[in-house]
Structures are given as structure tokens and as C-alpha cells.
Amino acid sequence: MFQSGESAVGNHTTSSEDIAADIANWLIGEGRLFGDGLKVVEGLAARLVASGVPLSRMRINHQLANPLIVGWSTVWTTDGASENAIPASILKTSAWHGSPFQYVVQNRATFRRRLDSLHPVDDHSVLHEMADAGGADFFAMALSFSDGSTQGASFVTKDPRGFSDRDLEILGSLRDPIAAAMEPCAQRRSMRSLLATYLGRGPAKEVAEGAIRRGDLVHMDAVVMFSDLRGFTAKSAYWSEAELIEAVNDYFEIVAEAVHARDGDILKFLGDGVLSVFPVSGVKNQEERCTGAAETAIEIRANLHALNERRQSEGKHPLETGTGIHIGQVTYGNVGSRDRLDFTVIGPAVNLASRVQDLCKVTGDSVLATRAVADLVPSLFRSTGMHTIRGLDQDVETFALI
Amino acid sequence: MNNNKYSIEIGDVEGEVKVLHGGRPVASSNRVRVLRETRLADCYYFPSDAVDPDILVPSDQKTFCPFKGTASYWHVKTASGLKENGAWSYQRPLAEARGIGGYLAFTEEVAEEYDFAVSPPEVRIEESHISSPLSDWVLRGAGNCKTRRELVRMLGHKLVEAGIGVNRLAVVLWSLHPEIAGTNLIWRRDTDEVSLSEASYDLLDDPEFVNSPIYYVSKAKGGVRQPLTVDTFEFDYPIIHELKAAGATDYVAMPLPFSDGQINVITMASDNESGFSTADLGQIFEIVGTIGRYFEVLTLRKNTRTLLDTYLGRRTGKRVLNGDIRRGLGEDIQAVILFSDLRNSTRLAEELPRDHYLKMLNRYYDMVLEPISENGGEVLKFIGDAVLAVFPISDLADDRSEQATLALRSARQAMRVVEEKLEKSLPEDGPPIDMGIALHIGEVTYGNIGSHDRLDFTVIGPAVNLASRMEGLCKATGNKIILSGEFVGALANDSDSLPQNIVAIGSHRFDGIGSSQEIYAASSLDADFVPTDARISPVS
């Protein structure tokens, strides 16, 4: 209804209802469409301040579906706005227990406390922190999302007179509009987080941006890396389920950390193995990615060594790893049936990386690469001769780390 | 002006009015008109002859207002540079705004100041928020709707309750789905039912769709408003004519944007004698902005479910959605494990041209995945061209043999289709397509493995390892479907005789698996089966 040139009405009234109504309209309409929690919070803070609410700090939290992160927090102060993840571990600490946020979320109620007369013990540490930073009044309220979940929002003022009744009326009446503005982006973030958890970060990004159909594929260069626990099946035949899972998870943790640290993607876990990929973004990037993959393999080996020391002290068997690295053209994207997809890499280059990794148990090396990789980073590798590869007519030269 | 209702007023401004930019006049006239629209600041419109045509550069931009119609834009040359879309005009306005037809208005960027020879009429700005039972419901009550269908139906009810004569309400929501491009929900007042239809991606190229108001709106061209009691239609779409023939008097289609920029569409038809009033449209426009949030949230939820079903499988996706997203010990269950694989995969990938290989691969997946899911199995993983699927066994009495039967059936169905269709489609001198399937039954641990923040919801355990090793025997023995002793036992429901067309082919000790295993082979056909001569010799 608004043309690009027409402007909305300005505030000529001071009744809290009208102010709240204008801000509510902005939140539900324009604010929501930003799809960006930071912009919503910044815009909301600006409008509240412009309408006379003496806001110095605002925080809006929402839950997130993620194994390590329990929520997402967006904070605005007069110095600026920022957002960050709330680790799941916080739920076990006193930072959460007894906090105003816990109170409002669990009771779906509001919480209000003047910060000039705090009780040293009974009032939560976060209130003391706010007071130490110059805060005079604290107000928190619950936000209801339409899936039934409850989130929290808190407001602080440094004005020694605190929040007036009018201020609190305005803030309270914005409960639903704030939820309206934040819920879509909270949900999107949750969805992306789930995708990243189960597909890997690179694929998650592609899928979230619309690569959702079979045939959504790109052909590109990539470094492909297969790593697994050498001889694991044989060794683990007599272990308990719990020991198996622990060993495999510990190994996966090591691999994931090393791969992610160098901007690679874990595409798949296969038994006790891992398929990772380091997409190459141009000829000049090839060497960098090969180096990254090699360093990843080295780090995996080193961290596994450290893990083994710990395992030995616990009376457990050591684990050994074998890694194969190749660089070549791959097809990256969705394969599968029409409604059951896998976002992965396909192509002869992938098969070769896997076969080279198999050779580790033959040569006894823990890391083997192909000529394509060794040619790009010759200082890291030395040849270990020619080998026959199942399914290929030609023998392949393998390279071990120097 | 009525209270709580939208309205438009057009008046004449007395005396000369100048638009100034950088202190210099851009346009001036003593026949300026002022447009007053509920909740908006006054807008001044200049007759076109008051503006020097040399400063105007036509722009492609168009915007739409259900009261005024479609506005065309021009860029404006000013002393400080070209101001994009700095002026607009309604060339063929709708009835409510006829008074400013062909008149030009300027954006704030261009019109830095107005100079009035005579004081302008007092600025009477309507008090802000229009509240009504309808907008209250949209702000609060609408959140109680659990599905998009329910939301559309309730919205229809609330519109009618508000006195807006909607007899048909439609919402088109784009999907994030491998096969569905969008969902069309239509509520009809006479049946009070919401029909739901899903359009495949083919729709997007369908000429019928391209020639529709939905297409127009979704392509960000603005909205559509067509009163149906007039002689000529500006928006001459077949659907609009159809609606008129069915008794509609007015039609409007509006964008329903989501926060990622996607433009969905909401349409309404009225059968009120006088169609939609200005007040009606005002209310509609306001709630469309608000109700978008609920459609977005419900759609996002559906999208998440779809994505998890697509990439994890339905059972697994459901668990993840219910919060099973931490690494843990998993759940120990009994299950049939199915492993299928293409022999020669390395050779196939090497020798087939890339696109041919991809096409073959996808067809292979179709042929294998469909029978599995039709028989109740869950595909857990693709490993190159290998597929890992499970048929979980419940506590019910005969479920063990039931699942084994279903799994064997799906293996046979898959094998038949692959033999028939895929193997024949390859070039004669090319590498053969040769699929092998292994079936085993046992205890598996079903849960999340992986790193802290990169998970895989799958099955692990010795039974899984055995199944994958067994699959490797297919080529060695020339048998296409290999079964473990335990699997055959479950199939036969512990009777002594072997089920039809299953033959023992010896025992085998697998790498890394303690005891030697009794192995069987099954034919893909239910007719008589002749076992191959190749027997398995135990590993020496």
C-alpha cells in the first residue's frame, strides 16, 4: 500500500497505545520481512528510544535445534548490536539457574526489578552485572512463538528514574509483535542448523538456498579425502557396543574438528570412515586446498595419537587411521530418487580417493595421496611407487607424507 | 473521514506550489491536487504539463495499490544527479483515485521542500492504528491454527464476519521440496472447505500458469485488482473471467512476502453487489501484512519436515524433528539390513560419459529405493552407488518373518527392474551393470553418531558390518541376492525347509568377523531357479 515515495505518518501523539501500535505495525510488517534478527532489534531499539523509552540495553533470545547450541541471543546496547550462540552447556550453570530469563520462560510471566536495591545473594548475578554496568531498572518478558515454545526478551535502562508505567505498557504490548518479527528468522536459523548438522555446512547452505531437487548439481574441482580407522572391524569384533560407539565417535570428533578448521565439509560417515571434501574455487586455490587437506590428515594423525595415549591409560586398545587424498573434477549435489536425496560428491575422482585410502593398509602408510595432489604440493609428499587399483586399467602412483 | 475505516480524499491546493531540490524548482503549478489517504502523509500531485519533460526518464518500475491502481515511474534529473524512480503517476487510476489520473508526484529524494504561495490546508492526519476484530484475530488468534489449511479456513470465516463479502480465498505458497513447486489452498464460502493442491515444477513453465494473476504477482510486478462489473478488464486473465462467470463481482490478488524475499500470493473474490469497498480493501491490505507471519512459520515448519524426510528418511527425520539430535548410545533394535551395490562401479564411473553415468545412477536409485520404501523399509544411507536400508522389527509376534519377507520382496522387485531396464540400456560394448543385494537380520544400534556438531543418524553394529561384507560375495559367487543364515531362518519362521527359490551355497568366513557364516542365494524370480555352479569355498 505504500508507494516508494509516500512516507508513513509521524508521531504527533504521545499516548502509549498509539506509539506501541506504530512500532507493532513496523515489527509485523517491515521488521519481519528483514528476516534478520539483528536488524529487527536495531530497528526496534531505535523506535523505542525515539518514542521516549529510556532504553540502554535489550536482549532477545530464542531456542535453536542444534546438538551443541541451545539458543541464539541478539543483544542491543547504545554501543551497537550483536548476536551469538548460547551453548547448551550453559543450562547446567548458575548463569541460567535462577536467572530472570529462566523465570520468564518457565513461567511465561514478566519480571521486573529495580537495580538500585539488589540483594547480594537473592538477586541473580546477571542483575548485579547490569547494576555494575550502570543499569537502574530491569524488565523481562516471555515471547510466545506459534509452535508453542516460549522465548525471552529483556530490557535495561540506565535512567535513574527507571522505566515508567508508560514505558512498561509499551514494552508489554509489543510481546506479540516482537515474536512476529523474530519467529520466522528464528525458524530459518533452526532449519539451517539442522541441515548443517546432518548434511555438512557446505551442502546445508546450497540446500537452504534452493538446491533441493535431484539433478541440482555442479561440476567442479575439489580435494576429496577418505579417512577411516584401519583394521577397525577386526579389532572391534570383540568390543562391547558402548566401546565401539565411543571409539568411533571420538575418531569422528577428531576428523570433524580438523576438517572444519580448514573449511572443508564432512559429507558422510561410512561405518568407521569419513568422506570429506575441500571445494576448489579456481586454479590458484588448488594448491591451498591440497595443503589444507594434507594438514588436516596430519592433524588427525596427531590428535589420534593423543587420544591413544589417553586410551592406553584407560586400558583400551589404540586406534589407527588411514587417509587417502586426491584432487580432481567431481559432481557435487543431489543424487538419489526423486524424493529421497543425498547431497554428495560423485565421479571417478571420488572412487580414486577411496581406493587410495584402501591402499594405506597395503603400504602401511597412514596418509596417501595421488600424483595430482603431490604435483601441487611437492614439498609435502614423496612417491611410494605404483599400485594396482581395482577397477582401473592403469596402475596408480601413490605418495606418502615426507 | 470515517473512523476506523480507510478512505481516500482528493482536494485542490490553493495558489502556486513549487517542488524544490537544492533550492531550485523542479516543478511548479497552481493546479496542484492533494491526495489524502488513511494513515499516510498528504501527497501532492502536479499536472503533467507543470513538469519539464526533459527531466523525466521513463523507468521500468511499477507498483500497485488496490485503491489507486498501477503507478508508473520516472527517474528524475536533478542538479545533484539522477534520482532513481523519483516521480510517479497513476495513468489509469481506479475509481477512487480518478482525480489524480496522469498527475505526477515526487519522492522525498526529489522533493526536498515544497514552497506554498498560500498556506496549505491544515494537515489532518488520521490517528494511527485501525483495530477491529479481524485485525485482532490476525494478530493473536491466528497463531492457534496448526495447519495452513486451518489458517486459510479461519481467515475466510473472519473476513466474512467482518462484513467483507469474500466468497473465494486462495493462497499460493512456494515449497522447498524436491518435487513440489508450490501448494495452492482454496477456501470457498459455499462449501466452507479448503481444497489443497500441489503443483510440480512443470507448472512454472505451463502457459496457463504464466497467463495468470498468480504468476504476475509472484514475479514482483505488484498486485492485481479487477472490479468485475466494468466493461473492459485491465487484468484480462482467464481465471478472472471464470470467476466472473461464476458470480464474482470483484477480484484482488496481493503479494504475501516471506522474510527471505520469496513472494507468495493471496487472492480474494467477492460476490457483494458492489464488490470490495475502499474500507474493505484497507482492512484486507492491513491483515495481509500481518497474517504473512503465520503462513511463513507454518511453511517453514513444513519445509523443515520435508528436508529431513528427503535427506534422512521419514522415520529418521521424525526422530530428529522430535529432538533426537545429540550423539548418544542410540537405541538397540532388531532389524533386517539390506545392502545393495553396483558391481563395476569404478569402471562405470570411468568409462561412461559423465552425464550418462549420472543419469544411470539416478535411475538405479529410483529402481532400488522405490521397492524398499513401498515395502516399508527405510533408506538410511547412500554410499556411492551402494544403498544401506533397514526394516525395523517391532515387538509384534510375527514381525521378524514379516519384515524378512518384505525385505526379500523389495530386493527381488528391485533386482527384476534393474535387470529388465537398466542392464539393457547400456551400450553393448560398455561395462555391464551388475547389481548385488545382501540381506541379513540382527541387532543394530540406531542413533546419532559423529562429531559434536556433525551427526549421522544411522545404524551401526556387527550385523551391519556383516551385511556389507556379504554384499561383496555377490560377484564372487555370481549370485545376485545373498542371504545370511539368520535371515533365512527368520524368513522360514524357523521351520526346517527352505523358502521357495532359496539355495544354500556354503559357508564363508569374512574378514574381521569371527565365526564362519552360512550363506544362501535367492533368485530374483519366483519361478524355478537354477543355482550357478560356482560355490563358495571357505577362506583358507
Which amino acid, residue B319?
R
Question: Do residues A224 and A329 share a domain?
Answer: yes
Beta bridge partners of A353: none
- Cell readout for B243 is 470467476
Residue A5, in any domain of the structure: no
Burial B316-345 (b: 16+ CB within 10 A, else e): bbebbbeebbebeebeebbbbbbbbbbbbb
8 Å CB contact of A237 and B285: no
How far is A201 from A188, CA to CA, in rounded Å? 15
Question: Which secondary-structure segment (H or E) carries B134?
Answer: helix B133-139
Question: Do residues A169 and A35 share a domain?
Answer: yes
Question: Do residues A230 and A118 share a domain?
Answer: no
Q: Answer whether B168's CB lies under 8 Å from B243's CB.
A: yes
8 Å CB contact of B297 and A8: no
Question: Do residues A123 and A224 share a domain?
Answer: no
Residue A393, in any domain of the structure: yes
> Which pLDDT value is given to residue B526?
62
Question: Do residues A120 and A257 share a domain?
Answer: no
Question: Do residues A323 and A273 share a domain?
Answer: yes
| B contacts of A241 (beta carbons < 8 Å) | 329, 332, 445, 461
Question: Do residues A348 and A237 share a domain?
Answer: yes
Give the 3-state secondary structure of residue A18.
Answer: helix
- Nearest Cα of chain B lies from the Cα of A341 at a distance, in angstroms, of 5
> Which pLDDT value is given to residue B494?
63
How far is B58 from B72, CA to CA, in rounded Å? 8
| B418 DSSP assignment | I
Q: Which of B124, B342, B451 to mutate to test the interface with A (most CBs of A within 10 A)?
A: B451
> Which pLDDT value is given to residue A16?
75
Q: How buried is residue A393: exposed, middle or buried, by Cβ count under 10 Å (0-12/13-18/19+)?
A: exposed
Question: Which secondary-structure segment (H or E) carries B138?
Answer: helix B133-139
Question: Do residues A211 and A166 share a domain?
Answer: no
Give the 3-state secondary structure of residue A214.
Answer: coil
Pairing of strands A367-370, A321-336: parallel
Which of B108, B129, B461 shows the shortest C-beta gap to A25? B129
Q: Which residues contact A244 (CB under 8 A, 6 or more apart)?
A: A236, B460, B461
> Which pLDDT value is given to residue B60?
87
How far is B511 from B530, CA to CA, in rounded Å? 29
- Nearest Cα of chain A lies from the Cα of B15 at a distance, in angstroms, of 23
Chain A: residue whose CA lies nearest to B178: A213
How far is A352 from A369, CA to CA, in rounded Å? 10
Pairing of strands B434-450, B481-484: parallel
Residue A393: band (very low, low, confident or very high) from pLDDT cuts 50, 70, 90: confident
Position with higher pLDDT, A323 vs B36: A323
Which of B71, B85, B379 shows the shortest C-beta gap to A340? B379
How far is B215 from A288, CA to CA, in rounded Å? 46
**Of the candidates A268, A328, A333, A255, the residue with the CA atom closest to the CA atom of residue A296:** A255
Which residue, of A170, A196, A222, is where some domain finishes?
Answer: A196
pLDDT in tens, A190-247: 999 999 999 999 999 999 888 999 999 999 999 999 999 988 877 777 788 888 889 9
Structural domain boundaries, residue A95: 16-196
Q: How many structural domains is chain A composed of?
A: 2
Q: Which residues contact A120 (CB under 8 A, 6 or more apart)?
A: none
Question: Do residues A207 and A179 share a domain?
Answer: no
Which residue, of A152, A181, A196, is where some domain finishes?
Answer: A196
Rg (CA), chain A: 28
Q: Answer whether B322's CB lies under 8 Å from B171's CB.
A: no
- Residue in the structure block whose three cell numbers are 492485481: B224
- Does A217 contact chain B (CB < 8 Å)? yes
| B232 DSSP assignment | S
**Of the candidates B35, B41, B256, the residue with the CA atom closest to the CA atom of residue B128:** B41
- Residue in the structure block whose three cell numbers are 509384534: B396
Report helix angle A175-199 to A201-208, nearest 10: 130
Which residue, of A162, A196, A230, is where some domain finishes?
Answer: A196
Domain with residue A238: its CATH number is 3.30.70.1230
- Does A362 contact chain B (CB < 8 Å)? no
Per-residue pLDDT of chain B (540 residues; tens, 9 = 90+): 334 567 778 888 888 899 999 988 999 998 898 888 876 778 999 999 889 999 999 998 888 777 788 889 999 999 899 999 999 999 878 767 878 889 999 998 899 988 888 776 554 444 444 467 787 888 777 888 999 999 999 999 999 988 898 999 999 999 999 999 999 999 999 999 999 999 999 999 999 999 999 999 999 888 899 999 988 888 889 999 999 999 999 999 999 999 988 999 999 999 999 999 888 888 888 888 889 989 999 999 999 999 999 999 999 999 998 888 888 768 899 999 999 998 877 788 888 889 988 988 998 999 999 999 999 999 999 888 889 999 999 998 889 999 999 999 999 999 998 888 776 666 666 666 788 999 999 999 999 999 988 999 999 888 998 898 888 777 777 778 999 999 999 987 766 777 778 888 888 888 767 778 888 888 876 644 555 554 544 443
Dihedral (CA of A123, A125, A127, A130) sign = positive
8 Å CB contact of B382 and A336: yes
Chain A with chain B: Cβ pairs closer than 8 A: 287
Q: Answer whether B448's CB lies under 8 Å from B455's CB.
A: yes
pLDDT more than 70, % of chain A: 97
User: What mean pLDDT do residues A43-64 have?
Assistant: 95
Residue A268, in any domain of the structure: yes
Position with higher pLDDT, A223 vs A176: A223
Beta bridge partners of B198: B183
Structural domains of chain B ordered from first start = 8-116 (2.170.150.40), 133-310 (3.30.450.40), 317-522 (3.30.70.1230)
**Of the candidates A346, A66, A224, the residue with the CA atom closest to the CA atom of residue B454:** A66
User: What mean pLDDT do residues A150-163 have?
Assistant: 96
Q: Answer whether B66's CB lies under 8 Å from B37's CB.
A: no
| A contacts of B61 (beta carbons < 8 Å) | 4
Residue A165, in any domain of the structure: yes
Residue A4, in any domain of the structure: no
Position with higher pLDDT, A222 vs A149: A222
How far is B92 from B77, CA to CA, in rounded Å? 25
- Cell readout for B368 is 532400488
Question: Do residues A249 and A337 share a domain?
Answer: yes
| B contacts of A40 (beta carbons < 8 Å) | none
Is residue A127 over pLDDT 90? yes
Phi/psi for A269 (5° steps) reads -105, 130
- Does A21 contact chain B (CB < 8 Å)? yes
Residue A10, in any domain of the structure: no
How far is A177 from A20, CA to CA, in rounded Å? 10
| A contacts of B63 (beta carbons < 8 Å) | 3-4
> For B125, left (φ over 0), alpha (ψ -120 to 50), or beta?
beta
Q: Which residues contact B236 (CB under 8 A, 6 or more apart)?
A: none
Angle at B412 between CA B533 and CA B492, to 5 degrees: 80
Residue A42, in any domain of the structure: yes
- Cell readout for B451 is 562429531
Dihedral (CA of B153, B158, B159, B161) sign = positive
Our measurement of the distance from residue A18's CA atom to the centroid of its chain's CA atoms, rounded to an integer in Å, reads: 40
8 Å CB contact of B129 and A256: no
- Residue in the structure block whose three cell numbers are 511499477: B62
Which of A22, A253, A331 shows the shortest C-beta gap to B128? A22
Three-class secondary structure assignment of B370-403: HHHHHCCCEEEEEECCEEEEEEEECCCCCHHHHH
Is residue A2 over pLDDT 60? no
User: What mean pLDDT do residues A263-276 have?
Assistant: 93
Question: Do residues A285 and A149 share a domain?
Answer: no
Domain with residue A120: its CATH number is 3.30.450.40
Please state, rounded to an integer, the average pLDDT across all residues of chain A: 90
Dihedral (CA of A353, A359, A365, A370) sign = negative
- Nearest Cα of chain A lies from the Cα of B448 at a distance, in angstroms, of 9
Q: Answer whether A195's CB lies under 8 Å from A207's CB.
A: yes
Q: How far is CA A38 from CA A72, A84, A91, B345, in A?
A: 11, 11, 24, 49
- Nearest Cα of chain B lies from the Cα of A125 at a distance, in angstroms, of 30
Lowest-confidence pick of A178-182, A377-381, B124-128, B318-322: B124-128
Specify the length of chain B in residues: 540
- Residue in the structure block whose three cell numbers are 578448521: A261
| A contacts of B71 (beta carbons < 8 Å) | 3
Question: Do residues A307 and A173 share a domain?
Answer: no
Which amino acid, residue B470?
M
How many other C-beta atoms are found inside a 10 Å radius of the C-beta of residue A146?
A: 21
pLDDT in tens, A341-370: 999 999 999 999 999 999 998 899 999 999
How far is A35 from A38, CA to CA, in rounded Å? 9
Which of A7, A68, A341 shows the shortest C-beta gap to B311? A341
Q: How many CA atoms lie within 13 A of A357 on its CB side?
A: 27
Residue A8, in any domain of the structure: no
pLDDT in tens, B259-282: 988 999 999 999 999 999 888 888
